[in-house]
Chain A
Amino acid sequence: MHAAAVRARSLIGSTRRLPIVPLLILALLVIGAVFADVLAPHEPLQVELTNALQPPFYHEGGSLEHPLGTDELGRDILSRLMHGGRVSLLLALSVIVLGGVVGVALGLISGYAGGLTDSIIQRAVEAVLSLPTIMVALVFVFVMGQTYASIILILSPFVAAELARMVRGEALSIRRTNYVALARVAGASHLRVIVHHILPNVAGTIIVVATLQVGALILVEASLSFLGVGVPPPTPAWGLMIDGGREYVATKYWLSLFPGLAIVLTVLSINWIGDWLRNVLDPKQQML
């Protein structure tokens, strides 16, 4: 291997080493979001019109009082970012839990039962995956109202479908293994076989897919709030902040820049960790 390649490899980390950089970034973001109440320098909703559109600290006229500046209503951007992270993480995790449980269950049943049950579940999964996510969510949230519940409810099926598809594929091949046949001969019930013999073997896939889905969900949630159908204002959400800064982009770029960077850093770290998990849990895929 060339020296350059060795260097590149140690930088990007296709190896199985723990990805320190994204883990650190994510840890910082999570701490900032979870303890936003204590850590944020200002109230995220506090309007101070005399303080509106302050530049970030490195600009002339900026101060460390508002390190990343203030928005058009004089609200502190850093504080809003921290509280916005809470919204993004909370929504993404709720969807993963709800959609994940349903999706894994459907995938296991589909792969294990086979036959008609499998066909029906798979047609439903294909149908859901063929829907334009943002469009459907847009309409649903518009009809049902801008609440956490309706956002979670409409995004969960997409996560469930994705997981069901992946889990089903794995369960299908595990079902045909000897140890499953032996467990059945030994008198294990179907439920026991699924829970004790198949589920542990698809856990790796579930973890990888779920991790990558968290990243995708944060992007979708940001798109929805950018379009004005995310969590209702004035709750700070990253997408909403980017939208708010759009009309000032020519002169006050930081209004849109920082929330976008927050999204990119979060999703990048999560995807990076997801890739690493895939390499570790599924060595076959490592070089793909």
Chain B
Amino acid sequence: MGRYLASRLLQALLGLIFISTLVFFLVRLTGDPARILMSDFAPLELREQLAERLGLDRPLYEQYFSYMSGLVRLDLGDSFNGQPVLDILLARLPATASLALAALVVAIILGLPLGILSAVYRGSAIDMFSRSVALFGQSVPAFWLAIMLVLIFSVILRIFPVAFGTGPESYVLPSIAIGWAAVAGIARLVRSSMLDVLDSDYVRMARAKGLPPHVVVVKHAFRSAIIPVLTFSGLVIGSFLNGSVVVETVFAWPGLGKLTMDAVNGRDFPVVQGAVIMIAVFFITINLIVDLLYAYLDPRIRYG
């Protein structure tokens, strides 16, 4: 386990360095970030002042070094309104994380039964139904689904609130809008791994012993079939962070996605840069945890 842990940690670290470097160069691609930050009509002096404050007048390698050493010290710089970027991001993180978790719950609640049913009743109408749901799920843009959900449930039926609120009911629509896309993936995965397991010797044995079908499916097959879903959940949460930018914008959800959009519109570049790094860190960390958990559960990976 030690060796696997080390190599996996190293991989995660390389990923973080890659992303931070990418963001660093992305911001400097145009040659002069100060120009993006300020209007073209700003006086040259002001631009130079800004460049100096951001350290843009120093040589590139020096900038890169101080940027990276800042990251190591968890210093993401200051927002244009003077607040440290890290504080701003941390204040917004819970809203995004809780929404992503809610979306995962939605995706599992819908995807798991669909996958199980379509594996157990393979080739039946239920199977076809769940496969069309899967196909449909991958084809609907999250932001449009969000708007249509608002139209139906908030405007016409008046069941759920239009925007972010304090109660748990404000989670319903955004988590469906974000989670919807993952229903398909989870259903497919559960279906194929259930099919494998249902075909295995020990399930046949359980059947031969005369156990009732629901016991075989729930107690024997389902337990093994659930492992791949675990890995997938990690990837799914990552993709939710991606979806959060658009869905948070629709619901005025005070999370990282909305923050990024506002920062882009307000040209608050340190915040944009910090948000991208933060989300990437989140993504890499989740993948790391899932991989380690998976290796813990399945010894073949550790020694593979």
In the assembled complex, the CB of B18 is this many whole angstroms from the nearest CB of chain A, namely: 4
B88 at the interface (CB under 8 A from A): no
In the assembled complex, the CB of A271 is this many whole angstroms from the nearest CB of chain B, namely: 6
Contact with A along B28-44 (1 / 0, CB 8 A): 01100100100000000
Contact with A along B140-151 (1 / 0, CB 8 A): 111110011011
Contact A14 B128, beta carbon cutoff 8 Å: yes
One of B50-58, B69-77, B166-174, B277-285 contacting the partner = B277-285
A139 and B29 CA atoms in complex are apart in Å by: 11
Given contacts A5-B128, A288-B192, contact A132 B147 (CB under 8 A): no
Contact A256 B144, beta carbon cutoff 8 Å: yes
Instruction: Please give, as numbers and ranges, the residues of chain A lying within 8 Å of B283 by CB-CB distance.
Output: 130, 132
Q: Which of A1-31 contact B (CB under 8 A)?
A: 1-2, 4-5, 7-9, 11-12, 14
Instruction: Please give, as numbers and ranges, the residues of chain B lying within 8 Å of A216 by CB-CB distance.
Output: 138
A140 at the interface (CB under 8 A from B): yes
A116 and B136 CA atoms in complex are apart in Å by: 41
Given contacts A130-B287, A249-B151, contact A223 B141 (CB under 8 A): yes
Contact B15 A143, beta carbon cutoff 8 Å: no
Instruction: Please give, as numbers and ranges, the residues of chain A lying within 8 Å of B276 by CB-CB distance.
Output: 132, 135-136, 139
Contact B249 A227, beta carbon cutoff 8 Å: yes
A268 at the interface (CB under 8 A from B): yes
Instruction: Please give, as numbers and ranges, the residues of chain A lying within 8 Å of B29 by CB-CB distance.
Output: 140, 143-144
Which B-chain residue is minimally distant from A266 (CB atoms)? Answer: B139
Contact B19 A127, beta carbon cutoff 8 Å: yes
Q: How many A-B residue pairs have CB under 8 A?
A: 162
Instruction: Please give, as numbers and ranges, the residues of chain A lying within 8 Å of B124 by CB-CB distance.
Output: 2, 4-5, 8
Contact A138 B264, beta carbon cutoff 8 Å: yes
In the assembled complex, the CB of B91 is this many whole angstroms from the nearest CB of chain A, namely: 19
One of A34-42, A43-51, A193-201, A257-265 contacting the partner = A257-265
Contact B238 A8, beta carbon cutoff 8 Å: no
Sort chain A's interface into a size bin. Answer: 35 or more
A242 and B29 CA atoms in complex are apart in Å by: 31
Which B-chain residue is minimally distant from A136 (CB atoms)? Answer: B276
A231 at the interface (CB under 8 A from B): no
Give the secondary structure class of B's interface: helix
Give the secondary structure class of A's interface: helix
A87 at the interface (CB under 8 A from B): no
A162 at the interface (CB under 8 A from B): no
Which A-chain residue is minimally distant from B195 (CB atoms)? Answer: A287
A39 and B125 CA atoms in complex are apart in Å by: 40
Q: Which of A213-229 contact B (CB under 8 A)?
A: 215-216, 219, 222-223, 226-229
Given contacts A139-B276, A227-B245, A227-B246, contact A127 B131 (CB under 8 A): no
Binding site for B on A (CB under 8 A): 1-2, 4-5, 7-9, 11-12, 14, 123, 126-127, 130-136, 138-140, 142-144, 215-216, 219, 222-223, 226-229, 239, 242, 246, 249-250, 253, 256-257, 259-260, 263-264, 267-268, 271-272, 275, 287-288
The 10 A-B residue pairs whose C-beta atoms are closest, nearest first, are A260-B144, A8-B128, A268-B139, A267-B139, A8-B125, A127-B18, A12-B128, A132-B242, A4-B125, A5-B124
Binding site for A on B (CB under 8 A): 11, 14-15, 18-19, 22-23, 26-27, 29-30, 33, 36, 122-125, 127-129, 131-132, 135-136, 138-144, 147-148, 150-151, 155, 188, 191-192, 195, 238, 241-243, 245-246, 249-250, 260-261, 264-265, 272-273, 275-276, 279-280, 283-284, 287
